[in-house]
Chains A and B, each alone.
Chain A
Amino acid sequence: MISLYPLVYNVVLSTRYDVLTQPGTSHFVGLGNYQQILSNAHFWADMGRTGIFMVVSVTLEFVAGLILALVVHQQFKARGLVRASILIPWAIPTAVSALLWKMFFDTRSGFVDFALHALHLPGANMVWFNSPTLAWVPIIVSDMWKNTPFIALLLLAGLQTIPLEIYESARMDGASAWQSFRSLTLPLLRPAIMVALIFRTLSALLVFDVVYVLTGGGPGQSTEVIAYYDWYKYLVSLNFGVGATVAVIITIFALALAALYVRLLQQRGEFLS
């Protein structure tokens, strides 16, 4: 119930004009805030950027996570060590991980430029945070470093439920490793893949810490995402009517993902077993 309260409060607030710096001017405006927001180019630009970030970061993290999971699923000597070491970045607070990558990408105290230079790769001596497109690189790298382990873990759990015998029989039937990966592993891993994708998509939709710490939405507005926009409306502009309106819109998207997840669990018959 405590958690339902903010939700309802948002819906109420979103129909009001309510700016804290103008006490006494709060009044009912109906759907006025929605009208204002939905015709606001700034809002749509942020939604677009959030969408692109979701697609790019989730895709990259999924591919990296799948590779990690497949490697750790093999039997080898240092397996325990690898499993533990991939978990450590996941346990670091997102804001701290972003702070670290901010420094790693710095020319003076970081290693990114040093490494690019040493490997004779392009990109050395780059001022990453001054370019509207390049500023996304540290954001995505930081997000990947922190979140890939989570995807890897969920996929690994999925891999472990696949019985080894089916691979044996596939090999007997003359299937190559790639063939059995494509027609056995991937389909059987589908439930785990779906769960991982839903959770990652949700947190990519809500990405805030990384952007706040690394770029503050800049340069200009070029890395501003929807959660940052909402936070700014709430706590910098102190415009709670508009802030709540954006929050309601974000919540609708999040609940759509939740509905997808519940349907998935029901299909698998795992909901309440």
Chain B
Amino acid sequence: MKTWLGRAGFNILVVLIILYSLFPFYWVFKSSLESSIALNQPTSSIWPLQWTWVHYQVIFAVENFLRPLLNSMFVAGSATVISVILGSMAAYGLARMPIRGKVLILGFILLVSFFPQIAMVGPLFLVFRHLHWLNTYQSLIVPYLILSLPITTWILTAFFSQIPADIEEAAMVDGASIRQTIVKVFAPIAMPGIFTAAILGFLLSWNDFLFALSFIQSPNMQTVPLALVNFRNAYYVHYGQIYAGVVVASLPIALIVLFLQRRIEAGLTAGSVKG
């Protein structure tokens, strides 16, 4: 009796957890399909009323939502590629070579990842203004590097340290050059770790709002979060368009998370990075 009750309670808890995480997404999807008239009346049903695709058409045809999507992909993508390349090199050195002051360097990297983003806004704004960089891609790529580099380096160092050095030594003994060893022996083993660091670095840049809000004014240069928030700042609140925009922008991220869940969890715990 007691275990039966326990199991029922547990199942209810599981259902509640899934609802808590996913019901908001259902609501977004449902609302994105509703006409503006239905959206502006008090909510009366959990099912969509007056179906329409018009919001999806409007965000692409009228609001040019493709532009912020491409902006975000380019900016976050560039920052990720650069930070993974630099981070891998730094992490390889830190994990493999007997560098003096290694603890200090790692401690410093960790400290940097604690630097408040808000404290960087002012100085970076003045520098970018001076360089005439405001409203450019580089005014986002550079700050995103500051955000993601410490974390990718930290995660990669943790991953690389777990790979036994014997494998590379064996390759060297067999006459492989250092470059061959790294490219042919080390890289394939390290790939999952590098991939994890890349996903987390990408999400970090993709999710930024503060830097984009501070350094970007031109509608053409907006990233996805900024563009979505600004749909609202117009005279009239375009609920349907915001909902449709969130669906379009979240779908790829949700798919990444679903397929790469194990990777992301491994990275988050290996690096114990901030979320």
B242 & A255 in contact (Cβ 8 Å cutoff) = no
B103 & A109 in contact (Cβ 8 Å cutoff) = no
Report if B123 contacts A (CB, 8 A): yes
A272 & B102 in contact (Cβ 8 Å cutoff) = yes
A154 & B103 in contact (Cβ 8 Å cutoff) = no
Q: Which residues of B contact A250 (CB under 8 A)?
A: 116, 118-119
Report if B31 contacts A (CB, 8 A): yes
A209 nearest in chain B by CB position: B209
Report if A93 contacts B (CB, 8 A): yes
A108 & B43 in contact (Cβ 8 Å cutoff) = yes
Report if B257 contacts A (CB, 8 A): yes
A108 & B41 in contact (Cβ 8 Å cutoff) = yes
Q: Which residues of B contact A231 (CB under 8 A)?
A: 118, 121, 210, 214
Report if A178 contacts B (CB, 8 A): no
- The count of chain A contact residues (Cβ–Cβ below 8 Å) is 85
Which of chain B's residues 2-28 have a Cβ closer than 8 Å to chain A?
A: 10, 13-14, 17-18, 20-25, 27-28
Q: Which residues of B contact A271 (CB under 8 A)?
A: 103, 106-107
Q: Determine the main DSSP class of A at the interface with B.
A: helix
Contacts A88-B25, A88-B258, A199-B275 hold; do A68 and B43 have CB atoms under 8 A apart? no
Q: Which residues of A contact B90 (CB under 8 A)?
A: none
- The count of chain B contact residues (Cβ–Cβ below 8 Å) is 82
> How far does the alpha carbon of A231 sit from the alpha carbon of B117 in the complex, in Å?
10
Q: Which residues of B contact A206 (CB under 8 A)?
A: 116-118
Report if B160 contacts A (CB, 8 A): no
Contacts A213-B229, A258-B110 hold; do A9 and B274 have CB atoms under 8 A apart? no
Report if A31 contacts B (CB, 8 A): no
Query: Which among B23, B107, B225 has the highest number of chain A CB atoms within 10 Å?
Result: B225
What is the interface of chain B, defined by CB distance below 8 A to chain A?
10, 13-14, 17-18, 20-25, 27-28, 31, 39-44, 46, 102-103, 106-107, 110-112, 114-127, 142, 145-146, 149-150, 161, 203, 206-210, 213-214, 224-226, 228-229, 232, 239, 242-243, 246, 249-250, 253-254, 256-258, 261, 264-265, 268-269, 272-275
What is the interface of chain A, defined by CB distance below 8 A to chain B?
2-7, 9-10, 13, 67-68, 71, 74, 76, 78, 80-96, 99-104, 106-111, 113-114, 145, 147, 149-150, 153-154, 156-157, 195, 199, 202-203, 205-206, 208-209, 212-213, 227, 230-231, 234-235, 240, 243-244, 247-248, 250-251, 254-255, 257-258, 261-262, 271-273
